[in-house]
Chain A
Amino acid sequence: MRRLLLRRLLLALPTLLVAATIAFVLAHLAPGSPAAALGGDFGAPGLVEEIARIQGLDRPLAVIYAEWLLRLAHGDLGFSFRAQAPVAELIRDRLGVTLVLGVSAILLAMLFGIVLGTVSATRSGGRVAVAAFAVLQAVPVYLIAQLLVLVFAVWLGLLPIQGLEDPRATPLGLSALLAERARHLALPIVALGLGQLGFVALLTRARLREELCRLYVTTARAHGAREAALRFRHALPNALLPLLALFGSRVGALVGGALVIETVFALPGLGRLAVTAAVARDQPTVIGVVLVAALVIVLANLAVDVLQIWLDPRQREAA
């Protein structure tokens, strides 16, 4: 187990390096520069060159890359041109929102997706359910989000439309603040979760139908096990293990979905940071966000692997 963990963590390093290098190359090959963005449209002649010189942007790309790599090795993500603050600080301030959003959404999607997929895994029925899951999977997540806003915020007036808290509210105590945050995050989480629900339900259904053909299911049925117990207690645990790995591969899609959801609900998360930084050519911030996103994906996959081994007695003993 420890060896496996070590090996996976070692393999994570090249992944992070590749992700960050792609972001670096994209950011530096892009037309426009942070110096031009900082200089503005009406800067004095020579201002842009002056900024580029001060920020060290006029040096060859290879030199900038080497220096960036050296700093990264020391855990320094660099300094944001746009926000005039360390990138690590910017990311730390926004990571929480994105993590809460993403983790809650995936838990929600897995809970309901697995239950719905299991219930709909009948031979004849479930065709309507499959169509519904497929449609849910094919609708852009921002549209789901906005429809939810329309119903629950505009028509029913139950939940706030956007942001993390009401700017007009008086300062709140801790518990009231948490409740307020939860109210503001409810719609984003449900929207993001719904976007993943179809995928989870479809996969669960497909796996469970395979599992229900197995002989032990027939035996259990012959012993008089009720249909619900058959599905949830006998077949589901066996079907779930291979599904876990597939859910791990969905984390990347979740990162992309969070980016969109943060835009719709104007949440101060990592996705918003990446988009605004990209438009402002704020290279260090962009690279930092991509690095953190890759790290999250790697760690999530690692967690899924460990969970899988821990849940499966055969693999647990082998490890």
Chain B
Amino acid sequence: MNRVALAYLLGLGGLLAMMVAIAPTGGIQALPMSRAFLPPGAAHPFGTDDLGRDMLLAVAQGARTSLLVGLVALGLGGGIGVAAGLAAGLGPVVLDEALMRTTDVVASLPTLLIAVLAAAFFGGSAMLVALVLGLTRWPVIARLVRAETLTLRRLPFFRAAVALGCGPLRLGRRHVLPQLAAVVAPAAGVIFGGAILAEATLAFLGLGDPELTSWGRLIAAGYPFLDDAWWMWAFPVAAICLTTALVALASDAIGRSD
């Protein structure tokens, strides 16, 4: 990982750690109604919402859910994608064909529609969104990993490893996996940001998790006051933009040079 990417990731990590640190663990205390709809000021840097709650604390609290959704979707999608791509690239031709046709099928599924239906059927839950997205968005990564594996297979070092008697497991783990970061990073960033946005979309449709504060729920809650209280939606939107932008920049930097 190069220095630029590390700097972006550290910036993102620091920002998020700060948010988690200042976020209260329980609900956010509502202030007297006279303090509702306060614009950003010294006492409340991000203003207050329609119930007089501090928006800075709300955004900080929302970070936890939104990040968890992004990370779970990324972990699932990345894990399945890398495993399937490696198996297709290193395994026998039959396995390759079977895995790639499965990939084609999954890649053609209307993911967000399925996530919306799952949430409508089983009740909104942040984990459900992450699960559905992770289980349906891995084909992008699988295809990239397979292509890269096939490229690596032709290189001398790989043939030497095969000649030395490396089995497919060792080949995958020691010789292919470490070289995948640059290929996978940009797609991984897209999955991460996409999951956060999908959660926001579900929250807007009224299918979010009623128990949890997330950036998406805050945007959906601020949406009726679009014209009157811009700070209610602008700060959660800024949080999503900043996070996805930093992740995109970091994954771009990882992808550029290794």
Contacts and interface: CB of A to CB of B under 8 A. Distances in A.
Interface of A: 11-12, 14-15, 18-19, 22-23, 26-27, 29-31, 131, 134-135, 137-143, 146-147, 150, 154, 249, 252-253, 255-257, 259-260, 263, 271, 274-275, 278-279, 281, 286, 289-290, 293-294, 297-298, 301
A259 B117 contact: no
B210 to A, nearest CB: 15
Nearest to B196: A138
A174 B154 CA distance: 63
A134 B112 contact: no
A150 B227 contact: yes
B244 A293 contact: no
Interface of B: 101, 104-114, 116-118, 120-122, 140, 193, 197-198, 200-201, 204-205, 216, 219, 223, 226-227, 233, 237, 240-241, 244-245, 248
Given A131-B245, A138-B197, A143 B117 contact: no
A256 B193 CA distance: 15
Contacts of B227: 150, 154
A290 B104 contact: no
Interface of A is mostly: helix
Contact of A255 (B110, B219, B233, B241): B110
Contact of A138 (B101, B109, B110, B241): B241
Given A22-B114, A31-B121, A140-B204, 12 more contacts: A15-B109, A19-B108, A30-B122, A138-B240, A139-B237, A147-B226, A252-B107, A255-B112, A256-B110, A256-B116, A290-B110, A294-B108
Nearest to A155: B227
Nearest to A246: B140
Nearest to A135: B241
A275 B22 CA distance: 37
B112 A138 contact: no
A137 B101 CA distance: 30
Contacts, number: 127
Most buried by A among B112, B201, B227: B112
Contact of A275 (B120, B122, B245): B120
B29 to A, nearest CB: 27
A263 B205 contact: yes
30 contacts: A12-B108, A15-B104, A15-B105, A19-B108, A19-B109, A30-B121, A134-B244, A134-B248, A135-B245, A138-B197, A140-B219, A140-B240, A143-B233, A143-B237, A146-B223, A150-B226, A249-B107, A252-B108, A252-B110, A252-B112, A255-B112, A256-B198, A263-B205, A275-B116, A281-B121, A293-B110, A293-B113, A297-B108, A297-B109, A297-B110
A190 B8 CA distance: 33
A290 B122 contact: no
B202 to A, nearest CB: 10
A294 B219 contact: no
Nearest to A295: B108
A259 B219 contact: no
A11 B104 contact: yes
Given A252-B111, A294-B109, A298-B108, A143 B245 contact: no
